[in-house]
Structure 1
Amino acid sequence: MIERWRPKMHTFHLPISEATITLEDVEVLFGLPTDGIHVAYLHALRDYTGLDYLHMLQWLTGFQPAGPTALSGVSRFQRMPVRHHLVAMDTEITDDSPPEDIDRHMRLLLLLMFGGILFPNTSENLVSLRFLRHLERLDDLSGYN
C-alpha cells in the first residue's frame, strides 16, 4: 500500500500519489503530544449491554435517562436530556459544591463534547457512551492523546 516513506518530511507517498499526515505532523502543526495514553475502545466493553452502559452513566455522572428506551442501539442516547440536566445542574454548582458534584458535571460536559463535537454521529443528536470509561479518572485526562 505504501510506495515510500520520507523520513525528513514525515509523510507517506501512496501509489496514487497522495500523502497522509502522521502523528509527528500533528504534534508539530498543532502542538499536541503524541506519546501519551492512547484512546481505544476496550475489549471488555464489547460485551456491555445497554443497561451496563446506563449503570456506568449513573455511577460516573449521576445522570439517568428516562429508561432503557432512551438508548439508540447499545451505547448511544439522545443529547437533549443531558443538556436539560446540565442546565438544571448549573444552578447547583457553586464554590461550596462537593468535588464529587463538580466531577460529575465535568464528565457530562466532556461526554457532550466528545459525542456532539469531536465524534458526532451522522444525525448529530446521539452521544456515544463508549467514552465513559476514559472519563472515570479525570486526573488522567491530560495524559491522553
Structure 2
Amino acid sequence: MIAMIQRVSNASVSVNEQLVGAIKGGLLVLLCVEKGDTDKQAKRLAEKVLAYRIFADENEKMNLNVQQVNGELLVISQFTLAAETKKGNRPGFGNSADPLEAKRLYELFNAHCRDLGSVVENGIFAADMQVTSTNDGPTTFWLQI
C-alpha cells in the first residue's frame, strides 16, 4: 500500500466540474492499493500518515503531525502509483489491486483516519477527477507499508 503525501495550504477535487471535496490545509494523500494489501496494512498506513511529522514547530523544524496542527486530509484514490515503469514507454498496472478490493481498502483507510479523529475529505473512487492543490514547501513524501 502506498501513500504519496503532500503538505498543502489548500486542496480540492472536482468531478464533472462539481466540487466533491476540499480542505483548507493539511495533507493531500494520493492512496494506492496494490495486490495483496491487507486490512492491517491499510490501518497501519493510516496511522503512519497521521503520525508523520512534516509540519513546522515553533522553531521551524518538521516536528508536528497533521493532527497537532489541526490539519485535514484530502484522500484521492490513485492506482497509477503502482505503475511498473522500468521497461518501455508505457506504464503497466499489474501490481494494482482488483478494483473492488482497492475500493474496500481505500474506504477502510479513510474510516480509520476518521476513527482516529481526523477530518477526511475524498474524491470519488474510480472517477475522472481534477485535483487542485497548493503544495506547502514544497513538501512531498512517499510512504509505503
Pair in the same fold by TM > 0.5:
no
Shorter-chain TM-score bucket reads: under 0.3
Asked which structure has the greater RCO (Cα within 8 Å, sep 6+), the reply is: 2
The structure with the greater share of residues assigned to helix is: 1
Which protein is bigger by CA-based radius of gyration?
1
Return the TM-score normalized by structure 1. 0.24
Higher strand share: 2
